[in-house]
Homo-oligomer: A and B are copies of this chain.
Amino acid sequence: MKTPSSLLLLTEALRHLPGVGPKSAQRMAYHLLQHDRDGAALLGRALTQAVDQIRHCSLCNTFTENDLCEVCLDADRDATLLCVVETPTDQLMIEQTLTYKGLYFVLMGRLSPLDGIGPKDLQLEKLIARATDGVVAEVVLATNFTNEGEATAHYISETMKARGLKVSRLARGVPVGGELEYVDAGTIARAMLDRRAT
């Protein structure tokens, strides 16, 4: 008894999704083929299209379909402020507080020695080049207040201060150990207003 090859391929391919093991990959494949073929076709097209069209903003590193993202193109932003966040979601959380009108740099991760993610993997050269453009005067560190986020902030702070930049960190209104994505906007607003030099 042989499983059809396109079903085997699909089950294998589903394992590229984070957190999906062999059992759940099989359950997903059966579900899609049995109950949601339109959804499967849609997801197939969405993946192909996203891989084709999504790249990184050449200034802030976030996901975009163009060379520069919308925020970086916005002339009303204060170009002397550069806020460093871990993910696009974190950036969105800060935007929603309406307390910050500067620009951003999105790390797309954090330093994580245990997972083998060092400064090179985070492309910190791109951040350094961005922050030393002669216009940026203050770097606001808004990485998470986890151990890894704090270590990342510390590393970037040292690097930036060595280049003569003013560096600040969101105030500790954010609970220690907390992740921005799960904190309410009021707390983030407080922390943004209370940011302090490091």
Residues in chain B near residue A43, CB distance under 8 A: 13-14, 16-17, 44, 47
Q: Are B1 and A63 closer than 8 Å at their CB atoms?
A: no
Complex interface residues of chain A between 149 and 168 (CB less than 8 A to chain B): none
Q: Taking the nearest CB of chain B, how far is it from the CB of A64, in angstroms?
A: 6
CB of A112 within 8 A of chain B?
no
Q: Are B28 and A51 closer than 8 Å at their CB atoms?
A: no
Q: Are B41 and A51 closer than 8 Å at their CB atoms?
A: yes
Q: Are B54 and A6 closer than 8 Å at their CB atoms?
A: yes
Q: Taking the nearest CB of chain B, how far is it from the CB of A12, in angstroms?
A: 8
CB of A125 within 8 A of chain B?
no
CB of A140 within 8 A of chain B?
no
Residues in chain B near residue A14, CB distance under 8 A: 43, 46
Tell which of B6, B19, B30, B52 touches A46, judged by Cβ atoms closer than 8 Å. Answer: B6
Residue of B nearest to A17 (CB): B28
CB of A120 within 8 A of chain B?
no
CB of A9 within 8 A of chain B?
yes
Tell which of B2, B39, B52, B95 touches A13, judged by Cβ atoms closer than 8 Å. Answer: B39
Residues in chain B near residue A34, CB distance under 8 A: 108-109
Complex interface residues of chain A between 98 and 123 (CB less than 8 A to chain B): 108-109
Q: Identify which of A86-94, A128-136, A189-197 touches chain B.
A: A86-94
CB-CB contacts of A46-63 with B at 8 A, as 1s and 0s?
Answer: 111111111000000001
Query: In the bound complex, how far is the Cα of B10 from the Cα of A43, in angstroms?
Result: 7
Q: Are B48 and A45 closer than 8 Å at their CB atoms?
A: yes
Q: Given known contacts A16-B32, A16-B42, is B63 in contact with A26 (CB within 8 Å)?
A: no
Tell which of B19, B26, B29 touches A24, judged by Cβ atoms closer than 8 Å. Answer: B19
Q: Are B50 and A10 closer than 8 Å at their CB atoms?
A: yes
Residues in chain B near residue A31, CB distance under 8 A: 17-18
